[in-house]
Amino acid sequence: MIQLGVNIDHVASVRNARYRGPDAGDGEPDPVRAAHEAELGGADGITVHLREDRRHIQDRDLELMRKLVKVKLNLEMAATNEMVGIARKLRPHTAMLVPEGRQEVTTEGGLDVKGRLKPLRDVVKRLKAADMIVSAFIDPDPAQVDAAHAAGFDVCEVHTGPYARAFAVCGGDFRRNELAVELEKVRDAGEQIRAAGIRFNAGHALNYHNVDEIAALHGIAELHIGHAIISRAIYVGLRQAVREMKDLMTAAHGAGERM
């Protein structure tokens, strides 16, 4: 059964538009309450990204979620000593290493595991020693999959941003070669990941229109989706937005596994 991890960073973005710094904990909407709503909607996990500049999720948010979240808590983080220390102290269920840029709105590309193999191998060991599953957010590149395996990652989350962009450009028409190629890259990466004995996840820019083909990929374990769900929640509420996405994913995954 495919699982859904809901990224609630942008709930904090809305809060931080008015409440910042010491006042953030008293502000609304509270991402901790949002995590509870997502759970009630059927989320299998909650994802948050504690950035070095604390632009959305705050330390207080993460600390409370570690105590209160009843499903899997996935911490997206840069591979820095500060973040490794926080992760080792709080021990979320999964630590996902991602690249991080100060000017980016959201994560814009996969982690260069190949180019940073030695230091990342050390970070993976430190996180595993604190009893965490460790994931790498990578582009669908065979060299990066091989490097992730060499570094000891338990999970590879394949970056679906290029697929999502192609879907938008092509209007979801898979007869268009550029879209078919991007889907094939994700599929091939997933097969390579699974052959290496690593869990195959995917995420980034997935929404209610483009999720079906990714959810239908053979052997995919989990999708991480944030912006689309939080956007939909403005109109229908977070529980319903999560439920709608989970239903789409489950139906597509079931159809794909039967093929």
Whole-angstrom distance, CA of residue 218 vs CA of residue 238: 28
Please give the pLDDT value at position 258.
Answer: 65
User: Strand, coil or helix: what is 69?
Assistant: coil
Residues 6+ apart with CB under 8 A from 22: none
Q: Catalytic positions, please?
A: 49, 76, 204
What confidence score (pLDDT) does residue 150 get? Answer: 98
**Percent of all residues in the chain with a pLDDT value above 70, rounded to a whole number:** 96
Alpha-carbon span 166 to 27, nearest angstrom: 38
Kindly give the parts of the chain with pLDDT less than 70. 22, 101-108, 258-259
Give the integer Cα–Cα distance in Å for 242 and 39: 9
Taking a C-beta distance cutoff of 8 angstroms, is the pair 52, 100 a contact?
yes
Residues in contact with 104: Cβ distance below 8 Å, sequence separation at least 6, in sequence order: none
Which tens digit of pLDDT belongs to each residue from 41-52?
A: 999 999 999 999
Query: Which domain range does residue 48 map to?
Result: 3-131+208-258
Separation CA 241–CA 226 (nearest Å): 11
Q: Residue 183 is which amino acid?
A: L
Give the count of domains, the chain. Answer: 1
CATH code at position 70: 3.20.20.70
Establish if 237 belongs to a structural domain: yes
Residues with Cβ within 8 Å of 242's Cβ and at least 6 positions away in sequence, in order, are 4, 6, 37, 38, 41, 42, 43, 229, 233
User: Would you say residue 158 lies in a domain?
Assistant: no
Specify the pLDDT at position 257: 72
In a domain, 27, yes or no: yes
Residue 43 lies in a domain: yes
Write down the pLDDT at residue 25: 76
Q: What is the pLDDT of residue 45?
A: 98
State whether residue 101 is helix, strand or coil: coil
> Is residue 183 domain-resident?
no
**Does residue 199 fall inside a structural domain?**
no
What is the model's pLDDT at position 21? 73
Compute how many other C-beta atoms are within 10 angstroms of the C-beta atom of residue 49.
23
- The residue type found at 140 is P
Specify if 62 maps to a domain: yes
In a domain, 106, yes or no: yes
- Indicate the pTM of the whole model: 0.95
